[in-house]
Structure 1
Amino acid sequence: MAEPQPRQRSLRILVLNANSSTAMTTGMVAAVEKLSLSDSVEIFSYTAPPSAPASIDNQEDIDASTKAILDDAELAKDLASTKYDAVLVACYSVHSLVAELSKYQHLVVTGIFEASITTVLALTPAPLNNDKWGIVTTGKFWEDHLGDGVKVFLGQDSSTANHKFAGVFTSGLTAGDFHTVSPEEVNAKLEVALAQLFSSGNVSCVVMGCAGMAGLENTIRTAAIAAYGKATGEQVYILDGVKAGIFQLQQTIRSKQAFR
């Protein structure tokens, strides 16, 4: 009789909300729970302390959230231990926490911004067609911040054109607005940004550039169909960075185990 195989060790992933909004953490966790994850994956969540901004809307907020989280002694203790295998920094920005937490060499760390770009490249590999991808997000600050961040991540010079990247399109909302403003107002402002994105060319992938946008896929799908028609609009990828980050961390953990 064959010997029973040992149970595969769980992968323990911490979803780290870099702002102090518990409502946003709840929304992220709800999005993750809809994924078809293996029983060997355990998801944990963390919300930044009250000293962190409730909504991250500029570089000052990024810096303040980084300080508040790095000052959390209990979190630092957990990260230094073997409690987690990976951390997902769930703020759609070029967030300094990604580099800071990568100093824990036993952890796999990524941000939802970085994970979304890697996933887009996997979903849109053909180099010869005219398909584009773009980011739809909140306030104007993010246009340059994320646009420049995409080029840095891809190793491009700031003056180099990227013909696949349609750009960053903003709604004028804040991250917190997605949980406090009426759905009608959110949808109306988001629809304006989406119309601009879809009119920029043949967009085959839309990245939701804010963790607070989880659950707004139907609004984006409706806008894609309005712009391109039902057949084409239904083929547009709608990418949630939190979900992309979870998938990428799983793969990276397995890859480190296989290739090191």
Structure 2
Amino acid sequence: MTLRKYYDDEDLTMATKFLRRSTRILVLNPNSSESMTHGVEDAIRTLHLSPSTEIYTYTAPTGSPASINDGEDVLRSSEIVYLDLTKTGALKQYDAVLVACFSVHPLVQLLGAEEGARGKLVVSGIFEAGVLASIALLAQPPLHTAAPRKWGIVTTRKFWEAHLTRGVNAFLGTDLEALNEKFAGVETTGLDAGDFHGGVSPEVIRQKLVEATKRLLGRGLVDCVVMGCAGMAGLEEIIRSAAIDEYGPEQGGQVFIIDGVKAGIGLLEQTVQNKEMFRRA
């Protein structure tokens, strides 16, 4: 780290400026939909990023599914993207990778093992980031009452209910019974990821998303709703309206609505810093 001191020309008050190496984060869309990547980019543009953080995006090549809707799509996208990235060696220029598919995606482990073994690359998925953000927010003082506060996921197809529930249990290293106090579970809209980008009308999207959100909120005092699909980026207002309808303006207005892409970028920024700050000499 280089330390440079300078003087302000107006008041001659001495200030200190730290010059830091940039953190380069790749946001990786493992499906082949450019429109979905653009939706993720729009969400990223709303973030107040550190001047030293650089964000890049990647869309999977043709051959990967345009919409990841089940376990077969997860595996297929993982194989194609892994082959593409390892063949080109593109990951060497990044400090961190965010896998922008809300699933237990094999790329998180594959890329972490491939590049993380070299001591550089930090890898997370938006699923893991959404879970961690929810747990951190629920650890804060209660917003409303002393009743158990919960978090849950609103996602797309029925397939993801079991997939994500198993994923939460495995990630936290616990069983379903132990999670029941805080994990409200998974509710689905019945839509595909691609439906959020022109597959169906905006009216259908709103209706399905509101209905799924209200079912989740009806499972208890849910203070955190995680958007369980990268294609939902930018649809927070729909979930907020459902929360206000269900809980009223005051309580519904304070529900945390978590975009896994935004959560993931924040997590990776901090993790890259922590890796440098706390690593062994």
Do both proteins adopt the same fold according to a TM-score greater than 0.5, normalized to the shorter chain? yes
**Cα deviation code 1:149-202 (max 9, x no counterpart):** 001111013554431000000000000000111110100111111111111111
| Coordinate RMSD, CA, aligned | 1.6
Secondary structure of 2:139's aligned partner: coil
**1:191 to 2:205 alignment:** no
The equivalences for 1:43-122 within 5 A come to 43-72=55-84, 76-79=88-91, 81=92, 83-103=93-113, 104-105=115-116, 106-122=120-136
Partner Cα separation in structure 1 for residue 125 and residue 18 of structure 2: 32
Partner Cα separation in structure 2 for residue 73 and residue 196 of structure 1: 40
Letter in 1 for 2:78: T
Partner Cα separation in structure 2 for residue 233 and residue 110 of structure 1: 30
The answer to whether the 8 Å contact 2:147/2:221 transfers is no
TM-score, length-scaled by structure 1: 0.95
Partner Cα separation in structure 2 for residue 109 and residue 76 of structure 1: 18
Partner of 1:174: 192
Which 5+ residue runs of structure 2 have no aligned equivalent? 7-16
Secondary structure of 2:19's aligned partner: coil
Partner Cα separation in structure 1 for residue 241 and residue 82 of structure 2: 40
Partner of 1:18: 30
TM-score, length-scaled by structure 2: 0.88
Counterpart selection for 1:226 from 245, 256, 259:
245
The equivalences for 1:118-129 within 5 A come to 118-125=132-139, 129=147
The answer to whether the 8 Å contact 1:211/1:242 transfers is yes
The answer to whether the 8 Å contact 2:102/2:229 transfers is yes
Secondary structure of 1:169's aligned partner: strand
How many residues matched? 257
**Cα deviation code 1:99-142 (max 9, x no counterpart):** 00002021000000001111111111159641111100000000
The answer to whether the 8 Å contact 2:64/2:80 transfers is yes
Which 5+ residue runs of structure 1 have no aligned equivalent? none
Partner of 2:170: 152
Query: Comparing 231-240 with 70-79, which one deviates more in the overlay?
Result: 70-79
- Aligned-pair identity in percent equals 54
Q: CA deviation at 1:64?
A: 0.4
Letter in 1 for 2:214: A
Structure index of larger Rg? 2
The equivalences for 1:193-212 within 5 A come to 193-212=212-231
Secondary structure of 2:89's aligned partner: helix
